[in-house]
């Protein structure tokens, strides 16, 4: 049980670290959110699953099961809420006209896109 918990916690830490590296190294807002949105979601859910397993290490009593269920509920909530929040932030940036990064600083398509104006 604790080996599985350690594995899950390590995987969660790996995804968090990947997200932070992406956040530091990527050039603009969209790609940074792309890194942190995915990395944080999976990292946090894996860590919560690991903590729930670790909590069950002391035995399957009712109190332990209750705490583990609460941790799993937090995980489900996080799995729904974090991508939605990322989507909302990105949508707001897109609608306010932030241009994605390109190598020479010129937009590859006409910016802002025409189709966006009639929404």
Contact footprint for other proteins (CB under 8 A): 77, 80-81, 84, 87-88, 91-92, 95-96, 119
CA distances from 102 to 1, 31, 86, 109, 110 (A): 47, 11, 22, 11, 13
Closest CA to 92 of 25, 12, 33, 5: 33
The residues, any chain, with a CB within 8 Å of residue 89's CB and separated by 6 or more, are 33
14 vs 29 by CB, closer to other proteins: 29
Q: Is 2 exposed, middle or buried (0-12, 13-18, 19+ CB in 10 A)?
A: exposed
Q: How many CB atoms lie within 10 A of CB 50?
A: 22
Q: Please, what is the minimum distance in Å from the beta carbon of residue 85 to other proteins?
A: 9
Q: Please, what is the minimum distance in Å from the beta carbon of residue 43 to other proteins?
A: 20
96 vs 115 by CB, closer to other proteins: 96
Q: Please, what is the minimum distance in Å from the beta carbon of residue 88 to other proteins?
A: 6
Q: Please, what is the minimum distance in Å from the beta carbon of residue 118 to other proteins?
A: 11
Q: Which two tokens stand for residue 1?
A: 């049980």
């Amino acid at each position: 049980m604790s080996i599985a918990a350690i594995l899950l916690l390590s995987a969660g830490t790996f995804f968090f670290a990947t997200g932070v590296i992406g956040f530091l190294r990527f050039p603009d807002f969209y790609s940074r959110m792309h890194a942190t949105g995915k990395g944080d979601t999976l990292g946090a859910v894996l860590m919560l699953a690991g903590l729930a397993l670790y909590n069950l290490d002391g035995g399957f009593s009712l109190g332990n099961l209750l705490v583990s269920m609460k941790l799993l509920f937090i995980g489900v909530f996080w799995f729904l809420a974090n991508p939605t929040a990322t989507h909302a932030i990105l949508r707001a940036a897109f609608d306010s006209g932030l241009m994605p990064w390109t190598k020479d600083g010129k937009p590859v398509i006409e910016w802002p896109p025409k189709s966006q104006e009639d929404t």
